[in-house]
Structure 1
Amino acid sequence: MLPGRTWTRLLVCLTCGGVACSDDSQGGHARAHYQETDHPVAGTLEPRSTWRWCYVHRRTV
């Protein structure tokens, strides 16, 4: 992460396991990963969370 930048949540790609910052963080690398790879679903790395986001349908799944 670059100095002065903060992230809100880290997401993991459920297709390849790549980790990136969420869209509400500066940079939004998780969305960029989806746009580059078409890997549609990401989940949070927060312990015991079942939250998942589908970029195709733009909703939680």
Structure 2
Amino acid sequence: MVIQCTHLNQIRKVTPSTRGCRECLMLGDPWVHLRVCLTCGHVGCCDESKNKHATRHFLATHHPIIQSFEPGEDWMWCYVDEVFMD
């Protein structure tokens, strides 16, 4: 059975809020990889980073879909349906 994302209607044309993880920049902390929220444009660090700001953003806002903000990567992840999309 193929799991499909049921939240594609929440994707918006967004402008990334920063060029790095917004919260890590304020804290002066490093990050590993960046993710952009496809509902509002928030840029946060991935779960491999110590602060996990992309996931924290999802937990606070319930914005379901992020996209990799890394050069050359174009995948998306739906937190709610727990599915990767190319």
The verdict on a shared fold, with TM-score over 0.5 as the criterion, is yes
Shift of 1:59: 2.3
Q: Distance in 1 between matches of 2:43 and 2:34?
A: 7
Which structure has the bigger radius of gyration?
Answer: 2
Matched length: 60
Query: Is 1:12 equivalent to 2:47 in the alignment?
Result: no
**Which has more strand, going by share of residues?**
1
- The CA deviation string for residues 3-53 of structure 1, in whole angstroms up to 9 with x for no partner, is 5x4311011000000001011111101111011111000011112321111
List structure 1 segments (4+ residues) > 2 angstroms apart after TM superposition.
none
Question: What runs of 5+ residues in structure 1 fail to find an aligned partner?
Answer: none
| Counterpart for residue 71 of structure 2 | 47
Question: What runs of 5+ residues in structure 2 fail to find an aligned partner?
Answer: 1-23
RMSD: 1.4
| Counterpart for residue 32 of structure 1 | 56
Shift of 1:58: 1.7
